[in-house]
Structure 1
Amino acid sequence: MWGSTGGLTALLTAAAHPEVCRALVLIEAGPAGPSPELPDRIGRWLDSWPVPFPDVEAAEAFFGGGPAGRAWAAGLAPGPGGLHPRVDRDVMVATVQENAHRDYWDAWDRLRCPVLVVRGERGAMKPDEADRMRARHHATRIVVIPGAGHDAHLDNTPAVYGEMARYLHDLQQ
């Protein structure tokens, strides 16, 4: 199971080494691109964080509350004056630079395993990208998690796990 950038990494690994992957679950991740505004958008979002966060409650509120807010807050580390990100802002922005300038449809077309693509109803992945994924790789199942955003696995964990369980069960049949 992989989401977003980790999902792209898993997709590229499965395409390059099909012998290591029997099935793939991608959450809000796919081969579309380019997205030139992505590094700046992520940088602005990280820059908007009121670091250090004074406490967990303030962090959860900043990240929108609920399961996703709790998960993001749990990823912070204690440091001088409060809670700090565990990631370096510039490293995060640099990580998505290549994604901003190319797509990965060539890798998608090399996949040999079945794929479950999980989209959040309010997520970043567009329905037409998911449809194109299924059209190009027929062993692709697309599911949409109601009310979920980009962090669908955090926004509605039971629904995502339920879809994954059904998918894995069906693969064994």
Structure 2
Amino acid sequence: MTTGPSPSLPETIGAWLDSWPVPFPDAEAAAAFFGGGAAGRAWAAGLAWAAGLAPGPGGLHPRVDRDVMVATVQENAHRDFWDAWDAVRCPVLVVRAAKGMLKQQEADRMAERRPGTRIAVVPDAGHDVHLDDPAAVYRELAAFLAEVGPVGAG
């Protein structure tokens, strides 16, 4: 997630999808292509929200259409989400993957615009932080919830 416009996002996602060596011969090859580990296995097995593979002629093929995926991010190329961010009134935990799309500078800006925002950084995690290090995400979430208590209870 990013809060500002991302003009290159459709092109970046299109190029990434175009780089897939389709068909993948098997799930192991797909998992390796997607970086291995839990995230790679999830993408290869079709557990990720936006992708996944299905059996087809010659191996495994994407479950999604490339052009549809690119079209779904067109709005994000030109729109920012600062008004929505500024309207948030509850405690916020931002979990940022150190190797993910949300950069520290943008997370800092989020915290500046909404005091009380807690930023947690998960080292060595990428876009799929919840798959790369679920224990770290759980620890951060549990600590945050213990700190803020039930929302609306005060």
Specify the TM-score bucket, using the shorter chain as the normaliser: 0.7 to 0.9
Find the aligned partners of 1:139 and 1:77 in 2 and give their Cα distance: 43
1:47 aligns with 2:18: yes
How far 1:35 moved relative to its partner? 1.4
SS for the counterpart of 1:77 is strand
Give the letter aligned to residue 152 of structure 1. Answer: V
Contact 1:115 1:141 in 2 (8 A): yes
Partners in 2 of 1:91 and 1:57 — Cα distance? 26
Question: Which letter maps to 1:164?
Answer: L
TM-score under structure 1 length normalisation: 0.78
Q: How much has 1:169 moved relative to structure 2?
A: 2.2
- For residues 33-112 of structure 1, the aligned pairs below 5 Å read 33-75=4-46, 76-112=53-89
Instruction: Give the secondary-structure state (helix, strand or coil) at the position aligned to 1:90.
Output: helix
Alpha-carbon distance between aligned partners in 2 of 1:137 and 1:162, rounded to the nearest angstrom: 23
Contact kept, 8 Å, 1:113 with 1:139, in 2: the verdict is no
Equivalent residue, structure 1, for 2:112? 135
Task: Confirm or deny: 8 A CA contact 1:60 1:73 kept in the other structure.
Answer: yes
Deviation at 1:115, TM superposition (A): 1.2
Paired residue secondary structure (2:141): helix
| In 1: Cα distance, 2:56 partner to 2:126 partner | 30
User: Rg: which structure is higher?
Assistant: 2
**For each residue in 1:85-134, what CA deviation from the matched residue of structure 2 results, as whole angstroms up to 9, or x when unmatched?**
22221111111111111211011111112111011111111111111111
Aligned length in residues: 144
TM-score under structure 2 normalisation?
Answer: 0.88
Using the TM superposition, give the Cα deviation of residue 80 of structure 1 relative to its aligned residue in structure 2, in angstroms.
2.3
1 CA distance for matches of 2:14 and 2:59? 21
State the Cα distance separating 1:30 from its structure 2 match: 3.6
Gaps of 5+ in 2: 47-52
Alignment pair present for 1:118 and 2:89:
no
